[in-house]
Amino acid sequence: MRLRISLPSFSKALSTVPSKRTPFPTAVQELTSFLRDGRPNITILTGAGVSTDSAIPDYRGENGTYTLNPDYKPVFYQAFVRSDDARHRYWARSFLGFPPVMTTQPNPTHYALAALQAQQTSSTHQPGQDQDHTHKDHLGYVRTLITQNVDGLHQKAGTKDIIELHGTLHRVKCMSCGHERDRSEFQQILADLNPNWNEMIQSNTTSSLYSRMNADGDVELNTAGQQDLHSKNLRQRILDYHTFQYPTCSNCGSGHYKPSVVFFGENVPKAVKERSMQTVLEADGLLVVGTSLATYSAFRLVKLAKDAGIPIALINLGYSRGDALADLRYDESSTHLLKAVANELGLGEIPGLVKKHFQHTLNVIGS
């Protein structure tokens, strides 16, 4: 069976907070026990909610993409493949949206999850010895992390053995020959092809060019009104994404680059699907964090765990499609709960909250 990413939709009746909320101290103790029981073979599944404290919006939270803009329509795979217009639109928006993705930093949720995976150390001091000896003799709690996110923040936080279910924004790949290149390198190519657009980024005027940042790393452009891309007043420029240029493949000379992410309407690669399913089946516990599980590619992993009798703990603010499948369900901020659990487990200090706002980040890119 192929896994195709479809546009998620929930009825308003379902999008509600669970009726029974576990007291926070109880949640900390229960989740701590869950991790100890499954150590060292816990698998984690994360979604957009883990990155909201890094100021990357989620999809269905209070300030989510679909919450604030119910009419939002992402670029679909078939449109990107077939339509030059769709590619102009995508790369124009991505050009403005990628710089803050590069500079955004992990938040305590990312660091707490990395700490759960890291091999724990202990120190001993023997009589007659001048120094303590550090031993890496305690396994971590987590073996593998599966993420739906494409922002790369788990890697920045130090997590290893990551399965990127929906790919990554940090690479691009030719749809014809498969040639790959780094997205930061590709950003410079786009800048060279589009000096007028790049001038606005370098002049710190980007905040007037878009209405909001979306969870997939692009922006919604302000395209209303008379196009004046060459206005001397940068803040009065109205952008038309049809003017945005993008390159053909430097390897085959004719193919078009696509971000290495799974678009809506596109299939999850078979190898990724099979590895994620096998990882879940081999786990002694599944911890789900920050996701409504709207996409079937993620929901089926939770269902797979349930059918296999694998214990499931779920942390998410608001409704999740997996609520009825979870053995433990917490309607809590993952930042607060996981920091408390990390403290209970003696994992050391989790870095504090550094919440950046994309508008501010874009404003300082050229500084």
Helix, strand or coil, per DSSP, at residue 285: strand
DSSP class of residue 182 equals E
Distance between CA atoms of residues 63 and 136, nearest Å: 42
Work out the widest C-alpha separation in the chain, in whole angstroms: 81
- Whole-angstrom Cα distance, residue 207 to residue 167? 28
CA proximity to 291, closest of 325, 250, 256: 325
Concatenate the DSSP letters of all residues of 231-246 into one string. Answer: -SSGGG----GGG---
189, 247 contact by CB (below 8 A): yes
d(CA 137, CA 123) in angstroms, rounded, equals 10
65 annotated as a binding-site residue: no
Contacts of 345 (CB under 8 A, 6+ apart): 32, 35, 36, 116, 141
Give the angle 344-345-348 at the CA atoms, nearest 5°. 95
Q: Calculate the CA 320 to chain-centre distance.
A: 17
Question: Residue 173: enclosing H or E segment and its boundaries?
Answer: strand 167-174
Burial of 265 (0-12, 13-18, 19+ CB in 10 A): middle
Which residues partner with 45 through β-bridges? 146, 288
Q: State whether the Cα torsion 354-359-360-366 is positive or negative.
A: positive
- Is 252 marked as binding a ligand? yes
174 is in an annotated binding site: yes
Catalytic hit among 110, 135, 138, 166: 166
* List of E strands, 12-132: 42-46, 120-124
Residue matched to tokens 């499931």: 312
Distance CA 207, CA 221 (A): 10
**To which residue do tokens 């680059």 refer?**
257
135 is catalytic: no
Is 154 within any annotated ligand binding site? no
Annotated binding site: 174, 177, 249, 252
Annotated binding site for Zn(2+): 174, 177, 249, 252
Active-site positions read 166
